[in-house]
Amino acid sequence: MRLKAILTFGAIGLLVGAALILYINITASKSFSVDGLVLNEADPINGSYVYLAAGCNSCHISEEDPKKGYLAGGQKFETNFGTFVAPNISNSNLYGIGNWDFKDFYGAVKLGQNPEGNHYFPAFPFTSYSRMTDQDIADLWGFWQTLPSVDLPSGKHEVSFPFNIRRNLGIWKTLYLQDSFMDEKNDRATYLVEALGHCAECHTPRDAIGGLKSSQWMHGAKNPSGKGTVPSIHPKDLGWSREEIVEYLSSGFTPNFDVVGGAMASVIENTSKLELSDRILISDYLLRLGDK
Ligand code: HEC
Ligand code: HEC
């Protein structure tokens, strides 16, 4: 009897130990280096274009800032897991990322982790940005050096247990963070939509723990705040021509002469400033979804 008890305890101990080691391994941040990246000198002009196409300002501008250039944060994003607040990512040494280096920035955008090795919440759409090229991230960082700094403290997220434990996001990332593209054409159109434009982050429904349901890619979703929906942009639902999609991405006018509203308005503010050829590529990507 005693032997059986000892063996049982031993077995439970081993299982708990193994589970703990697995947890620690899966949830650990990645160690990485940027020294081996093959990069040209950063091009801030391309960086400013990447910034537009990726819509960093849509979430990070401070609502009090009429110039929309200061990235002091403060916008709130309500989700099923709690409320996230976009942080100050201006060049403020005190409150922003002014004392970061390229490696810190790369870790945030590409790996979704901060310089201390904590995971970010996917309310920051790094699952899309992780597909960005190393050169575009370097150029974006080059552009960052031209941006002002603003000393406003970031707000605090209000997220409930267990979702507030950043370590647990390591499990989430194992499930959902991948650098492959959904569209195997893997061309510039794919890159503009899936990496930079992060269109799927709003237009694809999410499962119970907030991962994108890839089987319903762009088929429309509940608004993350629970109020209202984001429409499907799959061509069988949208039914717009290439010219109509390009017009929408340029002016915000729908074929019925409605005007864009909600979260899409700030997306259009950015797409309207892209090269026409890129708006055409984005439209082609959407139409291609109907081929499958
Ligand atoms: C959909 C809204 C959204 C968009 C678009 C967005 N972000 Fe964020 N970002 C967030 C949120 C929310 C956080 C906070 C994440 C956290 O605390 O885990 C964040 C965090 C960050 C951080 C970490 C700051 C820190 O102090 O650790 C950086 C850096 C950042 N974003 C850069 C960018 C860049 C660069 C872009 C464009 C390529 C971008 N963001 C686009 C919402 C967004
Ligand atoms: C931050 C969330 C968000 C992102 C990111 C986003 N959208 Fe949208 N989109 C919306 C919302 C919300 C609407 C509905 C707008 C309205 O009600 O006027 C919409 C509407 C649209 C429509 C019109 C659909 C209709 O039936 O009226 C198209 C087309 C579209 N988006 C394409 C895109 C493309 C392409 C991208 C990526 C470049 C993108 N969206 C990124 C939230 C988003």
CA of 203 to the centre of ligand 1 (A): 19
CA of 264 to the centre of ligand 2 (A): 5
Rounded average pLDDT over 138-162: 94
The response to whether residue 239 sits with its C-beta less than 6 Å from ligand 2 reads no
Task: Identify the pLDDT of residue 68.
Answer: 63
Rounded average pLDDT over 104-114: 98
Rounded average pLDDT over 147-163: 92
Any idea where the domains of the chain sit in the sequence?
Answer: 35-179, 202-292
Q: Give percent above pLDDT 90 in the chain.
A: 84
**Contact assessment for residue 61 and residue 68, using Cβ atoms and an 8 Å cutoff:** yes
Task: Identify the pLDDT of residue 179.
Answer: 81
CA dist 258 and 267 (Å) reads: 16
**Contact assessment for residue 107 and residue 32, using Cβ atoms and an 8 Å cutoff:** yes
Residue 2 pLDDT greater than 90, yes or no: no
What lines the ligand 1 site, CB under 6 Å?
54-56, 58-60, 77, 84, 86-87, 89, 97, 108-109, 114, 120-121, 123-125, 129
Task: Identify the pLDDT of residue 109.
Answer: 98
Whole-prediction pTM: 0.95
Q: Which amino acid is at 9?
A: F
The ligand placed nearest to the CA atom of residue 100 is 1
- 177-212 per-position pLDDT tens digit: 988 999 999 999 999 999 999 999 999 999 999 999
In ligand 1, which atom is closest to the CA atom of 166? 18
Q: Give percent above pLDDT 70 in the chain.
A: 98
The pLDDT mean for the chain works out to: 94
Side-chain half-sphere CA neighbours of 222 within 13 A: 12
CA dist 249 and 239 (Å) reads: 15
